[in-house]
Structure 1
């Protein structure tokens, strides 16, 4: 296979029309151009489940240290220490180890009563409404409140921080967005970190400031202020963006599959399995960027060393080579594994938190409503280079 093969198939991660429904293009890639090359933006793409899974596992070949978003990779921007998604071992392992003690299933389970109380309060405020926005009135609020609570960010400041994060990778007119300045991205958290340094509390920010660890040089130390800033910025963004998308897709998919929604309402023990199918069917973070450290052979072609590669994990989650009837949404589907949270070294650290939030949200919604209809005419799909989901999803209660 050469670079020009598959030229009649065009995939552009910045094209708003493609992003509105990328699945037909991704199917054509899987079938006819499983190793795809985009000349305009100079990147390769892998779209089949087996290829994406292997690449996500082979961190020594598909490296993250040059960035995990295409526009950052192509601009040659070096992200500061503490951005786990843009780090390779050994630095990645040390930084991830600091956070892995926080994002455990046990600790997420301990957090569940607070998340449930938050969801109940927000939903009770909507009681009696004939319609509400599944995202703006609810789904965009829960994740930021939860991660803000974990970090110790005052509730009154969380919305502005969330909205600023949302704008960073937004697409306009189908062009690649400029790479964000990591320093300016982290600056909104500087005041909180400086105050918390002299006013410790029982929150994640305090733990980041005070925890000692052994770095890659063998030195025992605490995180620098810049590292704490980066950690906090990354956690706030990751904790908000993908879970908000998950909640939005939950509202849309179950709104458009009333029989399955009513089954879940009648037997909410099936909610966790339904969340896994939602994650597979509409993965909130659909594309992962990497750079190959050596020449790599795929499907008769070569990805040259130093090339940017997009791993299309959302395409992989619809690959009929791995999933039966993958374009059918089915809450009864038995899923051995999906790639919504990535795989291997960079498997999403907050996966247990996202799953818990998604499960609690759906459970609390179904306690109150068993029927809603999506107002598609007024629904707005957000377009970013890193996530995919709804900005607004109005639903009509019936």
Structure 2
């Protein structure tokens, strides 16, 4: 029986707690490193080494029953093509298809277009005295980049991202999107091939787990496109929203970035570490594992608290709760680890760097309008639906 301090409590569905979970995460790390929540029947790991090792150990901590607590608890069947809810060898086969589309060269080639999209979002608000990091940029630029990569016409891109956000914005994500929102585009692209990911996926041949050489089935393709569109835009949207808040609260570091733009890549990493878009990821446990003298039993769901691990002082000394763009570089786990390490990490980092470069050129100072700011309420991702600021 796992024992915890009675007053230590974490509920991923408690919206009030999740507005600032870090004081509780600090207590869980120190007082209950193997935490158990009886109400929702899940375990949680919070220390960096424990979370990192669990993410890498895909045989003990599997994704095939879902990567969200409510999906694991539902016992639902996971349809093929849901990349983030797959285990090797099927996951590796599907991942390899996408990895060739996110090579470092292909990502770097996007920089001029990303900068163009960013400038198009920012220039209209110059001189207005106000700028919303999410509505004016965070929801716009990443959407246009993913739309361009997939080959979605600009007029339809908002509809696609709204569909993805609607799936994530439920308080509990208890069902999977079918991907049917892409059906019309997929059929059209099959008749009109182009230089985009959708065309590449339509034509890609691979050897599946049965040894059969084939192309992706329609249902697999639709789910693939849903994962790419949602995950591809969501991380950067949250990153940009958090950048607005964090840098307003650390004006001296913001001024440092204005004076020294070479620090911007390090600032992007620190923002990702300090406020990751996802607080946690869930796994299903296939065998008993010992942690700190206690047993995490097989057959249970476990939350890997990546946001807690990212602030573990053992990994980020002397104090992981301090935001510091000049912190010694150490790998965080905002993008995961192991076989499920985020393939879009280079794209998110590039978009984040360009966004900060272009914002700071135009707006070296700002103040957050907290009365108008709105958090995004979902268990899948954590961030801002609106991050309005006043520009002097």
Instruction: Please tell me the TM-score bracket, short chain as reference.
Output: over 0.9
Per-residue CA deviations over 1:305-334 (Å, capped at 9, x if unaligned) read 110000001100011111111111111011
Partner residue of 2:305?
312
Partner residue of 2:138?
139
Partner residue of 2:274?
281
Give the Å deviation of 1:160: 2.2
The two structures have a TM-score, normalised by structure 1, of: 0.96
- Return the alpha-carbon distance in structure 2 between the equivalents of residues 163 and 38 of structure 1: 33
SS at match of 1:358: helix
- Return the alpha-carbon distance in structure 2 between the equivalents of residues 72 and 349 of structure 1: 23
Give the Å deviation of 1:248: 0.5
Which deviates more from structure 2 when the two are superposed, residues 210-219 or residues 48-57?
210-219
Contact 1:285 1:388 in 2 (8 A): yes
Q: Which runs of 4+ in 1 moved over 2 A?
A: 2-8, 169-172
Say if 1:276 and 1:187 are closer, same or farther in 2 by CA, change over 3 A. same
**1:180 correspondence with 2:175:** yes
Contact 1:79 1:182 in 2 (8 A): no
Partner residue of 1:13?
12
Considering only aligned residues, what root-mean-square deviation do their CA atoms show, in Å? 1.1
Once the two structures are superposed, the pairs formed by residues 67-216 of structure 1 within 5 Å of their partners are 67-172=66-171, 177=172, 179-183=174-178, 186-216=179-209
Once the two structures are superposed, the pairs formed by residues 262-273 of structure 1 within 5 Å of their partners are 262-273=255-266
- Return the alpha-carbon distance in structure 1 between the equivalents of residues 170 and 219 of structure 2: 28
List alignment gaps of at least 5 residues for structure 1: none
Give the Å deviation of 1:337: 0.7
Give the Å deviation of 1:178: 5.1
- Return the alpha-carbon distance in structure 1 between the equivalents of residues 195 and 136 of structure 2: 29
- Return the alpha-carbon distance in structure 2 between the equivalents of residues 12 and 303 of structure 1: 18
SS at match of 1:122: helix
- Return the alpha-carbon distance in structure 2 between the equivalents of residues 101 and 134 of structure 1: 32
Partner residue of 1:326?
320
List alignment gaps of at least 5 residues for structure 2: none
Contact 1:283 1:314 in 2 (8 A): yes
- Return the alpha-carbon distance in structure 1 between the equivalents of residues 6 and 186 of structure 2: 50
- Return the alpha-carbon distance in structure 1 between the equivalents of residues 140 and 357 of structure 2: 17
SS at match of 2:106: helix
Give the alignment partner of residue 293 of structure 1, picking from 272, 276, 286: 286
Partner residue of 1:41?
40
- Return the alpha-carbon distance in structure 2 between the equivalents of residues 125 and 346 of structure 1: 38
- Return the alpha-carbon distance in structure 2 between the equivalents of residues 323 and 167 of structure 1: 35
Contact 1:341 1:351 in 2 (8 A): yes
Give the Å deviation of 1:355: 0.3
Give the Å deviation of 1:4: 4.0
The two structures have a TM-score, normalised by structure 2, of: 0.98
Contact 1:6 1:36 in 2 (8 A): no
SS at match of 2:76: coil
Per-residue CA deviations over 1:52-88 (Å, capped at 9, x if unaligned) read 0110111110111110001111001222212221111
How many residues align? The count is 391
